[in-house]
Amino acid sequence: MTMTGEKKRKVICPATGEEIGRMEETPLAKVPLMYEKARQAFPAWAEMPVKKRVEHLRSLRLYMLEHMEELVQVITDSTGKVAVEALTADILTVVDAVQHMEKTAASALAPRRVSTPLLFFGKKSYIEYKPRGVVLVISPWNYPFQLAMIPVVSALAAGNTVILKPSEVTPLVGKWIETLFHESGFPEGVVQVAHGGKELGAGLVERKPDYIFFTGSVRTGKIIQEQAARYLIPTTLELGGKDPMIVFGDAHLERAVKGAVWGGLTNSGQVCMSVERLYVEKPVYDRFVRQLVKEVNRLQQGRGTDDDLGSMTFPGQIDIVREHIEDALARGARLLTGQEPSRWNMDNGMFLEPMVLVDVTPDMKVMREESFGPILPVMPFEGEDEAVRLANDSPYGLNASVWSRDLEKAKRIASRLVSGNVVINDVMITVANPHLPFGGVKESGIGRYHGDVGLQTFCHQTSVMVDPGKSASEVNWFPYRGKYPLFLQLIRSYFGEKKAWWRFIKSYLHLLRK
């Protein structure tokens, strides 16, 4: 992309190198006004009953369905991904999540009654979920629609107003989102889109939103978290991954091979949850690798609706993939498919052939750092303990998969993995189940979204206790005279053995009567 003129920027399709539009960036100077608008719109939106808010979500969903193919085109042109992936991973997941929120938001956000201990006899307790205010959503380029829309819609359903800063790498998708909210009739100021790069992102954080929902790299996540900490702004961080796939000898091997190929190469591997480390049990390792190569060689790369693999999206990512492959080859790894970096040819778009890499070791960059490209590095392991040790030996913990016909064993391994998500005999799919919370551990992030918690996270919780207000005093209030020994007895009997129960009741009633 090159600058042409003051703020208009040329937008290029990464799969063809052709210009697909021009994009005007939001000037930094406009940021205060955006916050003012968002704050003005907040009270009316927050007070609107959830049932009315989700009617807006319904209009949004119907607009998306009506304009689905236009949206597929914008996403494929902007990212170079193939149409099926734009449709299933970007659009279907959003439509599904929106419909899920239409059905569940009212109950997820309703005040929740909780028990009240016997010591507070006569009182009642509940939790109320209240919108936080103005939520800033910052999103990446790999699933530019899904990863912007789901947090935005969740924040809106919970009663917040939102400022979205989509990725500058895929600006036309951000523009489409702006039109989508406008055309589906959202009130003025409830959703605003700020178009631009990291300076604009930093400027938006600096204006102190009430919550930040960030999806992107660990590096940027840490910068944002530091900035947010200065103002004590709460955040959710959805960051990178280096997901392990563990294949046991008793797995359905053909299924595991096909799962690895899809899990590692969908979206050209530019997925936070793509399979980035393959561990295969020794007795089936050779067979697995042979089948993997065969399956990868069957893939069709291109731009058509029948093609499997699209292009890379972001030029900077190609440099990272190159660095990882060069490091691995220099240390003795071998490529069984694809080309060495010196032979890569990007003359006709940023297409990278998928690479099966063997003879890798755990210390290589390709096994430690996020590659975010079409690489399948495979290494053998022996037994459950080694599989768990290798899989957990990572600064990341976003998703993982375990493959075995022995489901008890697979579940046993799953619970030993330090990971926000685990899938057994499949890959990635937890993120597509709107009932399940999604997020990472370790450097893969902080917080969860999706599911009820994904709406509640955009609320602050108020804990309320209610007393009928009929008695003149409470036992723990002043005066304390004579209460110390009684409290001693009360604590011992209430928290001690069961047989002391009646003694406690007697002493409690005695205290109440005083």
Chain contacts with ligand NAD (rule: CB under 6 A): 138-142, 147, 165, 167-168, 197-198, 201-202, 205, 215-217, 220, 223-224, 238-241, 272, 370, 372, 398, 440, 445
- Report the C-alpha gap between 113 and 108 in whole angstroms: 12
Indicate the residue type of 376.
L
Closest CB to ligand NAD among 219 and 290? 219
Among 66, 72, 95, 97, CA closest to 85: 72
How many other C-beta atoms are found inside a 10 Å radius of the C-beta of residue 353? 17
Which of residues 136 and 357 has its CB atom nearest to ligand NAD in the complex? 136
Question: Residue 186 CB, nearest distance to ligand NAD (Å)?
Answer: 22
Q: Are 417 and 442 in contact, with CB atoms under 8 Å apart?
A: no
Nearest-approach distance from CB 221 to ligand NAD, in angstroms? 7
Question: In angstroms, what is the minimal distance from the CB of 482 to ligand NAD?
Answer: 59
Q: Tokens standing for 418?
A: 């330090």
**Burial (CB count <10 Å: 0-12, 13-18, 19+), residue 323:** middle
Kindly state the tokens that stand for 384: 């459950």
Give the nearer residue to ligand NAD in terms of CB position, either 25 or 168: 168
Q: Which is nearer to ligand NAD, 105 or 205 (CB)?
A: 205
Q: Of 104 and 274, which has the nearer Cβ to ligand NAD?
A: 274
Between strands 375-381 and 275-281, the pairing is: parallel
Q: Which is nearer to ligand NAD, 317 or 337 (CB)?
A: 317
Nearer to ligand NAD, 42 or 396 (CB): 396
Q: Which is nearer to ligand NAD, 50 or 375 (CB)?
A: 375
Min dist CB 237 to ligand NAD, Å, is: 8
Q: 3-state secondary structure string, 420-441?
A: CCCEECCCCHHHHCCCCCECCE
Residues contacting residue 82 through CB under 8 Å, at least 6 positions apart: 76, 302, 303, 304, 305, 307, 308, 309, 310
Instruction: Work out how close the CB of 125 gets to ligand NAD at its nearest, in angstroms, rounded to a whole number.
Output: 34
Q: Where do we find the tokens 């091979």?
A: 257
Counting DSSP H helices and E strands in the chain, the numbers are 18, 20
Look up residue 52 and give its amino acid: K
End-to-end CA distance of the chain: 80
DSSP string, 139-188: --SSSTTHHHHHHHHHHHHTT-EEEEE--TTSHHHHHHHHHHHHHTTPPT
CB of 370 to ligand NAD, least distance (A): 5
| Alpha carbon of residue 251 to chain centroid | 29
Shortest Cβ 168–ligand NAD spacing (Å): 5
Matching residue, tokens 């052709």:
18
Distance from C-alpha of 286 to C-alpha of 288, rounded to nearest angstrom: 5
How many CB atoms sit inside 10 A of residue 413's CB?
23
> Cα separation of 412 and 231, whole Å?
42
Kindly state the smallest distance separating residue 201's Cβ from ligand NAD, in Å. Answer: 2
Which of 478, 246, 498 lies closest to 380 in space, CA to CA?
246
Residue in 174, 169, 186, 189 with CA at minimum distance from that of residue 270 = 169
CA-to-CA separations, 165 to 98, 222, 317, 397, in angstroms, rounded: 20, 17, 20, 26
Rounded to whole angstroms, the Cα distance separating 359 from 179 reads: 49
Report the 10 Å Cβ neighbour count for 16.
Answer: 15
Q: How far apart are CA 227 and CA 234, in angstroms?
A: 11
* DSSP assignment letter at 92: I
Nearest distance from residue 323's CB to ligand NAD, in Å? 15
Q: Least distance in Å: CB of 170 to ligand NAD? A: 9
Residue with smallest beta-carbon separation from ligand NAD: 201
Active site residues: 238, 272
